[in-house]
Structure 1
């Protein structure tokens, strides 16, 4: 992969293209953002690695109130060229973080009367505040779980994550640490191989040490050969314990 970062306008156009395809509604580039239907938009955040395949993406639910409605995340992709790596990064983001956020947008556009809580469930799953597999006191929108790796067990961590309720294990380390009582984005990225392992929790884009330690302590697979990683994203909507 070459080491030249793509222009912001090019990256935003790629983001808009993927979001348009995912939603069936037009997303366009203008005013320094990928602008979607209604008040939604995506802007590029400050890059903290310098890698051309790394993106900081800020999803803004209401561009008129970015301070209260922005969900920040970062993602890295891989490929033979920078364009391939950026495109892969956007796909990973859309399959995890984006799926939870698009689910929230779908609800905002109109609750589904056919479901108990009104959420359509088209893009992501849901856990009620009292669900034993959820986050106590918060409604959680659970995005997709993406995995990648090498070798025979390349999907071992992803398969474990699909079959394991992460939120009850993470909640004790995360609860009461967010700084606001609504719209908390929690990213989990973990896995590795014989050369070492990674376990990282980010809450609203910032590294969360206690959450990362709780994730590292779980019994997800450690492949004897090759590599296996998983990534997922959970959007906590509102603290309902107050």
Structure 2
């Protein structure tokens, strides 16, 4: 299975405190509020924090990011995800991984805090393009590839909502009724094809098979991939779901 990104720098991994500093800087810019590194976490305003997850790949450009909405209650307020960047130096590679995370997963998380549509879009529990029964925030869609049609999968993802297709395979596997993170990464290049769904950072086989069976484009003679993130706020949906999601940060 292909990694979530492309790589060019194969040097040693950056120290965790350096990676946390890079994340803190980008979040400070995005939120226009200060983040700083203290100990083994990046601390944001109020109860927010970011912790680096366990390195499960050994790859210098792979970053596991645990976004904690309430640092005093991390058990049920942490949304985990990972991203892999590409570049010619370790710094460039990690910076790209953070950018990918911030443009997809991060945008949904920041919208959960902002609640004004400035970072991502909201879908009510009964929206036909949403996740049935859940209030959902749809993070950004990023894409990359090679060739004349390298944006084909990204465009398809923007025009074809994934949530209604994935819901039947996903809904019975959740272990809590709020703040579920669903990442989709899919595309093809040459003889390789990837379709992966991760729920709270863990590969979901059944939903990945559903994604693989959808008619997204497979450009010939090129490479096209897309990544996006769905944040399921609460299974009661609507305004009550929004309030419950906001309460989790308190």
Short-chain TM bin: over 0.9
Paired residue for 1:182?
Answer: 178
Match of 2:231 in 1: 235
The alignment covers a number of residue pairs equal to 229
TM-score (norm 2): 0.90
SS at match of 2:81: strand
1:18 aligns to 2:26 (yes or no): yes
Aligned CA RMSD, in angstroms, stands at: 0.9
By how many angstroms is 1:2 displaced? 3.6
Does 1:132 find its partner at 2:140? no
Which consecutive residues of structure 1, in runs of 5 or more, have no partner in the other structure? Answer: 107-118
2:65 is matched with 57
Tell me what 1:206 maps to.
Answer: 202
1:157 aligned onto 2:165: no
Larger RCO (alpha carbons 8 Å, 6+ apart): 2
Q: SS in structure 2 opposite 1:144? A: coil
What is the TM-score when the length of structure 1 is the normalising length? Answer: 0.93
Deviations 1:170-199 (CA, angstroms, capped at 9, x unpaired): 111111211111110000000012221000
Question: SS state of the match for residue 232, structure 1?
Answer: strand
1:79-116 Cα deviation digits (max 9, x unpaired) = 0111101000000000000000011112xxxxxxxxxx
Residue in 2 aligned with 1:97? 105
Q: 1:225 Cα shift? A: 1.1
Task: Give the match's secondary structure for 2:173.
Answer: coil
Query: Which consecutive residues of structure 2, in runs of 5 or more, have no partner in the other structure?
Result: 1-8, 238-250
